[in-house]
Amino acid sequence: MEADFVIVGAGSAGCAMAYRLSEAGASVLVIEHGGSDAGPFIQMPAALSYPMNMSMYDWGFQTEPEPHLGGRRLVTPRGKVIGGSSSINGMVYVRGHARDFDHWAESGAAGWGYADVLPYYKRMESWHDGGHGGDPAWRGTDGPMYVTRGPRRNPLYQAFVDAGRQAGYEVTDDYNGEKQEGFGPFEQTVWKGRRWSAANAYLRPALKRPNCELVRALARKIVIEDGRATGVEVERGGQVEVIRARREVVLAASSINSPKLLMLSGIGPAAHLAEHGLEVIADRPGVGQNLQDHLEIYFQMASKQPITLYRYWNLFWKGVIGAQWLFTKTGLGASNNFESCAFIRSRAGVEYPDIQYHFLPMAVRYDGKAAAEGHGFQAHTGPMRSPSRGEITLKSADPKAAPRIFFNYMSTEQDWVDFRTCLRLTREIFAQEAFAPYVKHEILPGADRTTDDELDGFVREHAESAYHPCGTCRMGAADDPGAVVDPHARVIGVDRLRVADSSIFPRITNGNLNAPSILVGEKVSDHLLGRDALPPANDRPWMHPDWKSSQR
């Protein structure tokens, strides 16, 4: 088997590249180890806690014991299915803040500033605000990726925004438009009641073309001859074979699996590869380093009124909601139920938001376990730009073995300062007048936890990953010894090999990572095709005029 381009991974970026490369007339083979994304668990938005916890759809990764979180091992779900993690994620759509991308450009990823990426965001989107306001001039209208807003029928969604306003924060109509900072409606990758994953948006249309094909196989390593990538060695049906690339090989296997595949192919820190008996083809010490994530806690309040989603948390109502969704694609099953959000700054002197909120009108955990107290609601919150850095390394040279995942969460004093601030600011928001009719008492952390030590203890015990791993094949200048890929996503030191997924982020973006991961696939497609990048935008994003002197 051979094609112009061989892409490893049918995830967010891989699907986007398959679509754009095949659209341009190139032949494409996409290698994916996971299976079909058919069935209600993936396609029904409200069922999002299921696929994330099903071995059929998830790689089942776990971290090493995290020393600053009491030695806990945290789950690290990654989609092992058509659509990758876009098929098992929470469907939250956040572009990231303009300054995130300017920071990328300033740190050596030339051509990735906000002015450069905004045209790609517009190209990939089909934005539908449902008549709820927003910034149409900043948004795309005819891209493959449908972005919508939930109906926000529950009064708690509005109470959250009102409480933010009462606490003195900005309100924003469109955090993906001119102004990220503030409280407002959340956006989701849902279309006509279905999860609009990268598979639905990009891969299915691409596979209808004669020049795009999907290969179900496990990638073992990249085949490199005379310093040039020529194909991918895969295992399929018990047989090992090579799929050849006439033009380039592109790794889009996730921030966990892309560095693993590079190392198995002899690209990475030389001493580490030697430990595992792997021949060194390119000594790139940055491979697997710079691992970042968002850590969050679920701040839970008990509700005075029985208006939360808890009333549907039984077999009867789950059946009713499921049936309504199956037959009509409407109702509570048709939303991820994250319909209000906020981005705020933790203190004066922080230029742009560094705390995010997801608001949910129910007190529940990601694994689907409801709070013991019945009716409640919660905000998921945590700092956006942790200074902690971890790493992905090999446990063994066996391609079937999971790599060693170590985030090194909360390893700096700043992490603790930021998290305490987060908890105290959240408590203040829930104390506002808008929540007076609804708040009974605080479930978690619990109103009695007020000192630094008590809040730290809560974080140590209860912080969970927001499942936003990235950064392990960092993009930078070609002469940067710590960079893995250059600004065109080419692996430095090997020809005809690129990496295009969240692993190339120099630094984690503000918010959820699905949108910027797809963006990487969109932009790298143009580099692969040798096209000029889209002309930069001139739009000026909103920055808080008093950020130097004021927290809100």
> Backbone dihedral region of 288: left (phi > 0), alpha (psi from -120 to 50 degrees) or beta?
left
Q: Per-residue pLDDT for 370 more than 90?
A: no
Please name the helix (run of DSSP H) or strand (run of DSSP E) that holds residue 11, with its range, or none. Answer: none
d(CA 215, CA 200): 17
What is the reported pLDDT for 365?
79
Model confidence at 243, pLDDT cuts 50, 70, 90, reads very high
Q: What is the pLDDT of residue 496?
A: 98
Query: Is pLDDT above 80 for 368?
Result: no
Known binding-site positions: 81, 89-92
Q: Are 168 and 433 contacting, i.e. CB atoms less than 8 angstroms apart?
A: no
The predicted-structure confidence for 153-207, as pLDDT tens digits, reads as follows 999 999 999 999 999 999 999 999 999 999 999 999 999 999 999 999 999 999 9
pLDDT (tens digit per residue) in 431-466: 999 999 999 999 999 999 999 999 999 999 999 999
Q: How far apart, in whole angstroms, are the C-alpha atoms of residue 255 and residue 503?
A: 4
Query: Rounded mean pLDDT of 454-481?
Result: 98
Mean pLDDT of the chain: 97
- In the chain, the percentage of residues whose pLDDT exceeds 70 is 99
pLDDT, tens only, 375-385: 999 999 999 99
- Among 4, 215, 188, 112, smallest CA distance to 524 is for 112
Euclidean distance between CA atoms 62 and 365, whole angstroms? 18
Of 92, 99, 349, 105, which is closest to residue 197 (Cα–Cα)? 92
Over 90: is that where the pLDDT of 291 sits? yes
| Annotated binding-site ranges for FAD | 81, 89-92
Contact between 463 and 409 under an 8 Å Cβ cutoff? The reply is yes
Binning pLDDT at 50, 70 and 90, where does residue 133 land? confident
- Write down the residue that tokens 């408590």 correspond to: 427
In three-state secondary structure terms, 235 is strand
> Which domains are present in the chain?
1-115+190-287+470-530 (3.50.50.60), 151-185+295-383+411-462 (3.30.410.40)
Q: Does 527 qualify as catalytic in the annotation?
A: no
Is residue 5 very low, low, confident or very high in pLDDT (cuts 50, 70, 90)?
Answer: very high
- Please tell me the distance from the alpha carbon of residue 304 to that of residue 319, in angstroms, as a whole number: 26
Radius of gyration for the alpha carbons in the chain, expressed in angstroms and rounded: 22
Of 29-33, 63-67, 363-367, 541-545, the one with minimum mean pLDDT is 363-367
DSSP annotation string for 485-534: B-TT-BBTTSBTEEE-SGGG-SS--SS-SHHHHHHHHHHHHHHHTTPPPP
Residues 102, 107: Cα–Cα separation, whole Å: 9
Is residue 49's pLDDT more than 90?
no
pLDDT in tens, 494-521: 999 999 999 999 999 999 999 999 999 9
- Is 17:524 a contact under the CB 8 Å cutoff? yes
- Position 129 pLDDT exceeds 90: no
Q: Which amino acid is at 112?
A: W
Alpha helices by DSSP H, 34-173: 40-43, 98-106, 114-124, 155-166
> Is 75 within 8 Å of 467 (Cβ atoms)?
no
Q: Which of 68, 294, 468, 544 is catalytic?
A: 468
The predicted structure's pLDDT at residue 404: 98
- CA-to-CA dists, residue 19 to 22, 132, 201, 211, 214, angstroms: 5, 31, 9, 10, 12
Quick check: 373 pLDDT over 90? no
Which residues make Cβ contacts (< 8 Å) with residue 442, sequence separation at least 6? 299, 300, 301, 302, 427, 430
Q: What is the largest CA-CA distance in the chain?
A: 70
Amino acid letter, 205: P
